[in-house]
Amino acid sequence: MAETELSDCKTLPLAALHLRLGGRMVPFAGYAMPVQYAAGLMAEHLWTRDSAGLFDVSHMGQLLLEGAGAADWLETVAPGDFKALPAGKMRYSLLLAPDGGILDDLMVTNTGDALYLVVNGATKHADIAYMAGQMPPGLTLTHMTDHALLALQGPKAVEVMQRMDVRPASPGMPAVGDMRFLTGGPYLWDGVRLGLSRSGYTGEDGYEFSVAAADAGRFAEALLADPAVKPIGLGARDSLRLEAGLPLYGHDLTPEIEPVEAGLAYAISKRRKAEGGFPGADRILGALLDGPARRRVGLKPEGRLPAREGAPIFAGAEQVGTVTSGGFAPSVGGPVAMGYVGTAHAADGTALEIEVRGRRLSAMVVPMPFHQKNYVR
């Protein structure tokens, strides 16, 4: 990337560390971010699958929703059951437009006295404006610009955390090794307060840490001092989430896509399916009842040539869909993709073709994830 492009980008709290580690910086979501380090994408991907990788995801939006009735109000813009979300638990959800289109996907954690939201970096300012414009008096939405967000992902993440001596900050909370997927709370490391959760977007076991920007460098350096940990860039983060069948906002999810066709009906809580009352409920509940016109599917092209975003998908002479994410999957040993196809062509085992560089590649609809997830439930 040209220096002039990077000069227009905001810097992350760990920018100097990334440069010292040899990170190749690129513009992403308005920030200069490391796409890879010296070892390269393939090595970083496989290291995360086998050991533990440290990701800087501080470009994401960290928000605190506070005030009486916060959970009730959040249910007016997202389809989760937040009123029943216990303290210390997390839920994946969707910020919905009035017609039910997906404006963003997000994580919601009940901290006990507030709801902590993590939204996507490229959409965070639009998300904040959208929510603030509908928020009643008495609620506040705070953008935590003074905090970094890090993720430690991989099968050895728990061992690293135990060696780091990260401990609960309040009585009754589990030790880090006893936490389960989608739980979180306040923890302490060497006097530094961490908002810690057992979560991530790679398909691997791991943790995410909200930490004051002033403490982020020392904490990251301590993690990287463990021989099981290496820094991992954006490139491997994308290939890891693709193998795990996880959609990426702005690619696999957009305002033109509703949750059912995206394969995210599980983000609509049982009570909300019965009661409705969320944006686009008629459209979304209708898709649940009658089935959507198209579906997000996994695709396995033959050969070694990857199919990238935007590649048309054909059944015979008819275009029946489009690839929304695709690339080489190091843990699979070949290319994988996901995209949207008409429901008549969405069943596992359906033979299709994807046009890549003017050639038609044979491909098959296959179940996702492409690589087994390793969450601790």
Q: Tell me: the pLDDT tens digits for 244-290?
A: 999 999 999 999 999 999 999 999 999 999 999 999 999 999 999 99
Give CA torsion, residues 86, 208, 157, 253, to 10 deg: 90
Residue 4 has pLDDT above 90, yes or no: no
- What pLDDT, on the 0 to 100 scale, is given for residue 170? 87
Residue with tokens 């919905």: 96
Given pLDDT bands bounded at 50, 70 and 90, which one contains residue 220?
very high
Q: What is the pTM of this model?
A: 0.96
Nearest to 255 by CA among 92, 102, 119: 102
Rounded CA gap, 195 and 107, in Å? 14
Mean pLDDT of the chain: 97
Express as a percent the part of the chain with pLDDT over 70: 99
- What pLDDT, on the 0 to 100 scale, is given for residue 262? 98
Structural contact between residues 208 and 223, judged by C-beta atoms closer than 8 angstroms = no
- What pLDDT, on the 0 to 100 scale, is given for residue 2? 42
Range 77-106 average pLDDT: 98
Rounded CA gap, 85 and 104, in Å? 20
Cis geometry, peptide bond prior to residue 98 (ω within 30 degrees of 0): no
Alpha carbon of 100 to those of 122, 142, 175: distances in Å? 20, 25, 39
Alpha carbon of 137 to those of 27, 69, 74, 94, 132: distances in Å? 37, 10, 14, 23, 10
- What pLDDT, on the 0 to 100 scale, is given for residue 311? 98
- Go through the domains of the chain in sequence order and give each one's CATH number: 3-59+146-243 (3.30.1360.120), 294-377 (2.40.30.110)
- What pLDDT, on the 0 to 100 scale, is given for residue 172? 86
Residue 1 has pLDDT above 60, yes or no: no
Residue 171 has pLDDT above 90, yes or no: no
Q: Which residues pair with 186 in a beta bridge?
A: 195
Q: What is the DSSP string of 46-72?
A: HHHHHSEEEEE-TTSEEEEEESTTHHH
Structural contact between residues 95 and 75, judged by C-beta atoms closer than 8 angstroms = no
- What pLDDT, on the 0 to 100 scale, is given for residue 3? 46
Structural contact between residues 223 and 164, judged by C-beta atoms closer than 8 angstroms = yes
Tokens of 182: 């989608």
Range 107-132 average pLDDT: 97
Range 309-337 average pLDDT: 98
Rounded CA gap, 160 and 181, in Å? 17
Rounded CA gap, 78 and 218, in Å? 36
Structural contact between residues 33 and 56, judged by C-beta atoms closer than 8 angstroms = yes
